[in-house]
Structure 1
Amino acid sequence: MPGDLPIGALAARVGVNTKTIRYYEQIGLLPSPRRTSAGHRRYEVSDAERVTFIRTAQRLGLTLDEIRQILLLQEDGQQPCDYVRQVLRREVARIDRRIAELTGLREQLTTLDRRPHSTAGTGGCICRVIEDAPGLRAGAGPPRLDVFAERSR
């Protein structure tokens, strides 16, 4: 029967694993599928299109909650494009901030690498390159590792 896809076929068709499909069902992004008399899930072509939409939206930086909101708007008969544009503008602003932070960190690391460092008097010293880092010493503000933190998805 056309559109009668078992979970493995759906997963292969859209390039995800079966756990992802089950997870999307569990959190309400994908409707519960029909089931055979043996309890096996059966999906429609529209489910493949929906999973593809979800994955594409994730690659654009949208969170699952944002994707859920888009799907709810669409299911309510509304055009979600204005909402999507707002989300994308926020994502662009977040990326711009992250680029600025990474650019600053890159400059600090390049400067630190070019500085001459003394190896004299290293008693109790672990590594002068790090310990002599201007403005990066403990107590000089939060560590810069936050620039690598991923946005919650």
Structure 2
Amino acid sequence: METLRYYERRGLLAEPHRSSGGHRLYDASSVTTLRVIKAAQRLGFTLEEVAELLEVGRHRHRPRGVRPGDAGLQARARAKLAEVEERITDLVAIRDNLQAALDAGCDDLIACADTDCCPIPFATITRRPAPAAQDRSDR
């Protein structure tokens, strides 16, 4: 219940009508909006990003100079997909390094870090690779 009140305060949900006893009465539109919010969060969108998507959807028009798809779900979904793919790449590297450490029988990270035979690439995994240059031609 507190989550619904929070969404109302943030402007994600309209304040509902109340019964004569003061109970909140949510209409079908509010229930749909709540489902959209939860689904978008499950897809990895932050609450701030969800708020922006809802706002764009409510206005159904684009600001001047913004091409179709640049401000709405399509553009945001492409950006979120790129983030997810980057996280997947990171997780695969983590999995592979952990599996290599298990396979090699590593038991002490400090001792392992000082040996040449340790499969964990301590020097490279402590540096985050530079982000790939985005192709500007698709904008």
CA distance in 1, matches of 2:94, 2:50: 32
Which ranges of 4 or more aligned residues in structure 1 deviate by more than 4 Å? none
| 2:77 maps to 1:94 | no
CA distance in 1, matches of 2:53, 2:102: 47
| 2:93 maps to 1:104 | yes
The equivalent residue for 1:35 is 18
Q: Deviations over 1:76-117 (max 9, x none)?
A: 2338x8221111111111111111111112221122222256
Aligned runs of 1:1-153 on 2, under 5 Å? 18-78=1-61, 82=69, 83-115=72-104, 127-128=107-108, 130-131=109-110, 132-133=112-113, 134-136=120-122, 141=126
CA distance in 2, matches of 1:28, 1:67: 11
Shift, 1:30, TM fit: 0.2
Distance 1:23 1:114, change over 3 A: same
Q: Deviations over 1:11-53 (max 9, x none)?
A: xxxxxxx222112112110011112344322221111111111
Identity %: 30
Distance 1:135 1:42, change over 3 A: same
Structure 2, unpaired ranges of 5+? 63-67, 114-119, 129-139
Q: Deviations over 1:47-73 (max 9, x none)?
A: 111111111221222222222122222
CA distance in 2, matches of 1:100, 1:30: 36
The equivalent residue for 1:122 is none
**Count of residue pairs the alignment pairs up:** 113
Amino acid at match of 2:121: G
RMSD: 2.6
Q: Normalization by structure 1: what TM-score? A: 0.62
CA distance in 2, matches of 1:116, 1:50: 51
Comparing both chains, which one has the higher relative contact order based on Cα–Cα distances under 8 Å and sequence gaps of 6 or more?
Answer: 1
